[in-house]
Amino acid sequence: MNTSPCAAKPPARARHTPAGARGATTPPWNLLGTGMAAAVLLAACGGGGSDDIAFDQAALVEQGRKIFRYDTFGDEAKWTDTLRMHEVISAAVDPVTALSVGLKVDAEALPAAVVDGIRAGTVDLKSPATTIALLKLDAVVGLKGRVETINGQDVLTQVGITCALCHSTVDDSFAPGIGKRLDGWPNRDLNPGAIIALSPVLDAASKQIFTSWGKGKFDPRNNVDGLSKPVVIPPAYGLEGIHRITFTGDGTELAYWNRYVAVAEMGGQGTVDEPRLNLHITNGTQDLVTFKLPALQAYQLSIPAPAAPAGSFDGAAALRGKLVFEGPGTCATCHSGPLFTDANTRLHPPEDSMAEPETPSYASRTATKQYRSSPLKGVWQHAPYFHDGSAATLSDVVAIYNRKRALGLTGQQMADLAEYLKSL
């Protein structure tokens, strides 16, 4: 008997049949609703009839958005059971403190009464109870809390993190740190190390490592090799068409790294195997990751790099800068094609990164031991630059290339090149 879910695929019209109806061994797709189950099944089995493809794709992207924003993959086991973050949040993390470590609030999740209360100053932003109220509203970007009413009081009994914690920010339209979500934009205000260091179970030495990382950075290799040298949180937009994922091109598709992060970094329930790093992790007894990967990837691929805001660069200078980029700057020899990267054809030795040599070398801690030429669409948006954030501005990037690669560009050429980068 063929037990493949593809063989058992229902006709397109029946695609909203609850997943649970298909057999006793159905994975826990129904946790996410039947749309998710259908979308995942269709993705895994190559999609439905051609007239359904657009619909299937839109449904998949929408499910992926939900996963990206709200799914913890069961990582409460790490953030609640192990790190006991729910206790710290309840005791000491009022909204002012939360905003100060870079957490963002989704203004669209706030009911009018709360918005009015914040405006009028009647919502106490110095009380952890307000943070719990925000978590109850699902309004803290990237944090997912379970709030239960115990003896008439709201108590935070569980907390976990989602992809949006690091890879979303807000547009500050309501107040600094409070606004509409901008998915895919790296949260460079977020201080993940400082947040982890709030955990009451960590010893002083670990806390010292985490607090040394700083804003907008995280070390996704630290829990594997024990070394500490964080990298900047990169954007999760503009990745359609790029088949080398991460700074070092470790994976050929997003799902590779999405699985890695969900299990190895976030602590989600599932498995990751990376023989090149001799890494084998299984958290828990169920897999809450694998069946979500197609939708999660589809959502990320649907997020374009943001265009440069009008008036943010000098158009005439940018046009001249393009000629420098393609000519004497030699930038286009690596940042080639419409995505400004040669990632799909080659990776580069460590010395091609202007941030190297560094100790320890980030490349040396990864699967490929090389670097990918960074795609440059939307590069205006996410200073600082290079994997270690060592170039504060695009002008600094240009100056560093000019010096290290002995390009001999004039001051005018360097200024024009920086304007061009701002326009991408």
Residues in contact with ligand HEC by CB under 6 A are 161, 163, 165-167, 192, 218, 220, 231, 233-234, 236, 239, 245-248, 254, 257-258, 261-262, 266, 296, 300, 329-331, 333-335, 348, 352-353, 355, 371, 373-374, 376, 379, 385-387, 397-398, 401, 417, 421
Note whether 159 and 186 are within 8 A (CB). Answer: no
- Minimum CB distance to ligand HEC, residue 7 (Å): 30
Which is nearer to ligand HEC, 220 or 294 (by Cβ)? 220
Which is nearer to ligand HEC, 174 or 385 (by Cβ)? 385
- Minimum CB distance to ligand HEC, residue 331 (Å): 3
Which is nearer to ligand HEC, 174 or 371 (by Cβ)? 371
- Minimum CB distance to ligand HEC, residue 418 (Å): 8
- Minimum CB distance to ligand HEC, residue 115 (Å): 27
- Minimum CB distance to ligand HEC, residue 121 (Å): 33
Which is nearer to ligand HEC, 174 or 420 (by Cβ)? 420
Note whether 9 and 56 are within 8 A (CB). Answer: no
- Minimum CB distance to ligand HEC, residue 413 (Å): 10
In DSSP terms, which residues pair with 150 in a beta bridge?
A: 153
- Minimum CB distance to ligand HEC, residue 132 (Å): 21
Which is nearer to ligand HEC, 175 or 281 (by Cβ)? 281
Which is nearer to ligand HEC, 131 or 297 (by Cβ)? 297
Which is nearer to ligand HEC, 118 or 195 (by Cβ)? 195
Which is nearer to ligand HEC, 56 or 356 (by Cβ)? 356
- Minimum CB distance to ligand HEC, residue 329 (Å): 4
